[in-house]
Structure 1
Amino acid sequence: MTTSTLPAKDSFSQGSTDLDRSRAVAPLTIKSDVEALEAARRFAESIAGEAVARDRERRLPHAEIEAFTATGLWGITVPPSHGGAGVSHVTLAEVVAIVSEADPSIGQIPQNHYCLVDAVRLIGDARQQAFFFAEVLAGKRIGNAVSETGTPTSKAMHTRIARDADGSWRLNGRKAYSTGALFAHWVPVAATDDAGRQWLAYVPRDSAGLHVIDDWDGFGQRTTASGTVLADNVRVDALHVLPRDRLFSPPTIHGPFAQLLHAAIDLGIARAALRDLHAWLTQKARPWADSGVTRASDDPLTLSKVGALVVRLHAAEALLTRGALLLDAARECPETGAQGVTAASIAVAEAKILTTELALDAATALIEFGGSQSALRSHALDRHWRNARVHTVHDPVRWKYHAVGSHWLNGAEPARHASL
């Protein structure tokens, strides 16, 4: 098997001392893909031991996120032209999978950071790129306040932004599922102006009128703090506002980039479940009485299903790499235009299908073959299924099957948004 070697408890708003933007962690400088992978393995090893306790107690990983930032891994997507490593998508996906195998909540927290750093690369002007890339390399984290509840669909929004007479902007609205915002120095808020145009306002976390509320009570991914963000007449400097509609028209890699990271998180969950399955079958589980064997690891029906899971693991890893390579190609050769973006989108959709289904099935098999003991809360093996089920509802695979089939049969272009 391939491995990577509630009610609100906290509420922070303007004036909070829990996150001082002037005291951001001074991170190490990562210069290559090799260094990034080595740093990810070291960090994953440092956080794995307390993953069960963090999940059980819903202990938010403030110290762990500071240590994560200090590794330099949050800056690895900054382009070399601005002092970053500009790692490949193959490396980025593996970094996320390695950390997510150790603790998928911590693995998910920088997902939006990476996406919104790449948004600066895609749609920011020269001044915005210089400013935000420098912020990231200095250890500043970027969160997320994009999704809303109570709208007709998950892509609709009520949050509004309007220009002031002095050229700045004013922001008002309520956001949900704001993964990363509680730990962030910058909180990008998606909003619509009176003309219907969409914008991304990168708001300092300590801004007057911005409130980040830890009211996330999901049964999985419990410590992502994916709660609510409220914007009450928040003033935003014009330098910090980017045209969000340009992320998707003309087509860019923003959608498949986001999906690649989600697939990598699911791969990490699957690896963790299979790691524990290996340990249980070789060390703790008993064979079924009718099997005629003395070890659970020799049970012929167990071997058949485990073999199928291992094959699917390797297939998922291969498809994730394939999708990442096509993203690399689309990024490095933008002249391919919509064709290159489409190829990456479909390939990443295929990877997301496999990683989603593998994470769920591996987590279920762990309990099935682990036997009655594996269901005891003291072992916390249920966390893999809970994490997989909660995380994989982000982007339903039924629509990814549709996109793949429609493209293969009819040459249809995939939807252009952050979920495909």
Structure 2
Amino acid sequence: MNIKIQDLQIENLKIENNQDIPDSVFEQHQPAHIIQNDAEAIAAAKKLAEIFRQQASHRDANRLLPLQEIVEFSQSGLWCINIPKQYGGAQVKHRTLSQVIRILASADPALTQISENHLSFLEQVRLDAAEEQKQLIFGNILKGQRLGNALSERGGRTVIDLKTRITPNAQGYAVNGKKFYATGAILAHWVYAVGLDDEGNELTALIPHHAPGLSIINDWSGFGQRSTASGTVILDNVQVDAAYVIPTGAGGESINLVGTISQLIHSSIDAGIAHAAIEDAIEFVQKYTRPWIDADQEHAVDDQFTQAAVAELKIKLHAAEALLDRAGDFVDAALENLTEDNANAATLAVAEAKVLSAEIAILASNKLFELAGTRAALSELNLDRHWRNARIHTLHDPVRWKYKLIGEYYLKGKHLPRHPWS
């Protein structure tokens, strides 16, 4: 799959902060397409994946932000597919949402990850926003506007420790703080920032990308997922209208699937990375790999150890994909009857899918080189991007804790915690 690097003519813009992003990334000359159903969502994802795949390796190798691609992505209507039907969205099944993400991530997992925070936050809006806010926010997104996050901060004891403050004033609210890992914020029409008020209550403020006091720095230097723009956001007395501030502090105290849906999307990205690595490994072995000297074969595809290894990769990928489909069904069932037990069942199903999807992403992207041979390590092929992307993205939430929490449930009946990393 696109192993040979093509000669690409891409404008190499030097982007250091949000002021350097061309206006064309945010301008909307026409509303986004409105996807009507699950089948249309899958078809749209397949069409876009072919486009994104063409230059994904080049973007990764040169740390280029997907400026044109992000516009095509949001205008396609795929950023609206989990908006409830009553607000004009398709409200696709979560099995379908997972499949859409897998298809796109197999083409470009960095570009796909940019959409994750947007898609998962829509569930937060559905749960916690006032009716007028839902109409306003969902309406903007249906037009093709994108959300980017400003959630995590450096320096706290854990990832949930927040120093950012969102405090009321005469204009509405003032937001002050500093964020990191702000995936996609630099390309978003709106940045949603999480902070605490003076009483320690959690609030989320939606901030326009051009707002005074908002600085987004393109300083993400991770060796994988290079084009996610997961850098720094500085919030310097940013003024936000009260209509765009949502109380989101219930978190794990309420019965909700916000974190579970986020995890489903993250796990689907891992499965997409695995799929791409396996397909590239197969193509390379078929076209270029020489049989090992002791195999006594004319072609590498006839090597019995290679055959067995490819079979193992495919079986484990198919198992991960099946668990993701199953997890999506559990999410839908829980949302229809949101009880504590049903929410836990969905969270458990997603956690089990996460284990396999993360492990096959690492295994496949590593096994690629063992099966393909030394020639596959040439830097101009950039096949190492699969391992780099898998290694970085699976750091989001450690599988070792998934094993612990899953085992604890089966042994002791303890429900899994509810937060974006469980």
- Pick from 47, 50, 59 the counterpart of residue 45 of structure 1: 50
**CA-CA distance at 1:350 after TM superposition:** 0.8
Contact 1:9 1:215 in 2 (8 A): no
Query: TM-score, normalised on structure 1?
Result: 0.95
Q: Deviations over 1:325-376 (max 9, x none)?
A: 0001111222xx1111100111101111111110110011101111110010
Contact 2:18 2:186 in 1 (8 A): no
User: How far apart are the structure 2 equivalents of 1:207 and 1:14?
Assistant: 11
**CA-CA distance at 1:9 after TM superposition:** 4.6
**Structure 1 residues 14 and 288, CA gap change in structure 2 (3 angstroms):** closer
How many residue pairs match? The answer is 410
- Pick from 282, 285, 290 the counterpart of residue 289 of structure 2: 285
Structure 1 stretch 131-140 or stretch 284-293: which is displaced more? 284-293
Gapped regions of structure 2 (runs ≥ 5): 1-12
Contact 1:316 1:355 in 2 (8 A): yes
- Pick from 277, 289, 297 the counterpart of residue 273 of structure 1: 277
- Pick from 349, 352, 358 the counterpart of residue 351 of structure 2: 349
Is 2:377 the counterpart of 1:372?
no
Q: Secondary structure at the match of 1:414?
A: coil
Q: Deviations over 1:140-179 (max 9, x none)?
A: 100000001111111111111111145x111100000000
User: How far apart are the structure 1 equivalents of 2:89 and 2:411?
Assistant: 41
- Pairwise CA RMSD of aligned residues? 1.6
Is 2:70 the counterpart of 1:68?
no
Structure 1 stretch 303-312 or stretch 110-119: which is displaced more? 303-312
User: How far apart are the structure 1 equivalents of 2:161 and 2:124?
Assistant: 19
> Which residue number in structure 1 is paired with residue 228 of structure 2?
224
> Which residue number in structure 1 is paired with residue 38 of structure 2?
33
> Which residue number in structure 2 is paired with residue 409 of structure 1?
411
**CA-CA distance at 1:301 after TM superposition:** 1.6
**1:223 partner amino acid:** S
**CA-CA distance at 1:315 after TM superposition:** 0.5
Contact 2:408 2:414 in 1 (8 A): yes
> Which residue number in structure 1 is paired with residue 207 of structure 2?
203
**CA-CA distance at 1:384 after TM superposition:** 0.2
Contact 1:101 1:271 in 2 (8 A): yes
Contact 1:19 1:185 in 2 (8 A): no
Is 2:95 the counterpart of 1:90?
yes
> Which residue number in structure 1 is paired with residue 128 of structure 2?
123
Contact 1:200 1:244 in 2 (8 A): yes
**Structure 1 residues 371 and 196, CA gap change in structure 2 (3 angstroms):** same
User: How far apart are the structure 2 equivalents of 1:398 and 1:9?
Assistant: 39
User: How far apart are the structure 2 equivalents of 1:183 and 1:10?
Assistant: 11
**CA-CA distance at 1:65 after TM superposition:** 0.5
- Pick from 283, 301, 304 the counterpart of residue 300 of structure 1: 304
**CA-CA distance at 1:307 after TM superposition:** 1.4
**CA-CA distance at 1:247 after TM superposition:** 3.6
User: How far apart are the structure 1 equivalents of 2:408 and 2:345?
Assistant: 13
**Structure 1 residues 19 and 414, CA gap change in structure 2 (3 angstroms):** farther
% identical aligned pairs: 43
> Which residue number in structure 1 is paired with residue 60 of structure 2?
55
**Structure 1 residues 119 and 197, CA gap change in structure 2 (3 angstroms):** same
> Which residue number in structure 1 is paired with residue 146 of structure 2?
141
Q: Deviations over 1:61-96 (max 9, x none)?
A: 010000111111111111110111011101111111
Contact 2:271 2:357 in 1 (8 A): yes
User: How far apart are the structure 2 equivalents of 1:354 and 1:287?
Assistant: 30
Q: Secondary structure at the match of 1:400?
A: helix
User: How far apart are the structure 1 equivalents of 2:309 and 2:26?
Assistant: 50
Q: Deviations over 1:285-307 (max 9, x none)?
A: 11111122222112112222221
Is 2:166 the counterpart of 1:164?
no
Is 2:264 the counterpart of 1:260?
yes
Moved over 4 A (4+): 13-17, 19-22
Gapped regions of structure 1 (runs ≥ 5): 1-7
> Which residue number in structure 2 is paired with residue 245 of structure 1?
249
Is 2:185 the counterpart of 1:181?
yes
User: How far apart are the structure 1 equivalents of 2:370 and 2:168?
Assistant: 57
**Structure 1 residues 193 and 133, CA gap change in structure 2 (3 angstroms):** same
User: How far apart are the structure 1 equivalents of 2:164 and 2:390?
Assistant: 30
**CA-CA distance at 1:258 after TM superposition:** 0.3
Contact 1:210 1:231 in 2 (8 A): yes
Contact 1:122 1:247 in 2 (8 A): no
**CA-CA distance at 1:15 after TM superposition:** 10
Contact 1:123 1:247 in 2 (8 A): no
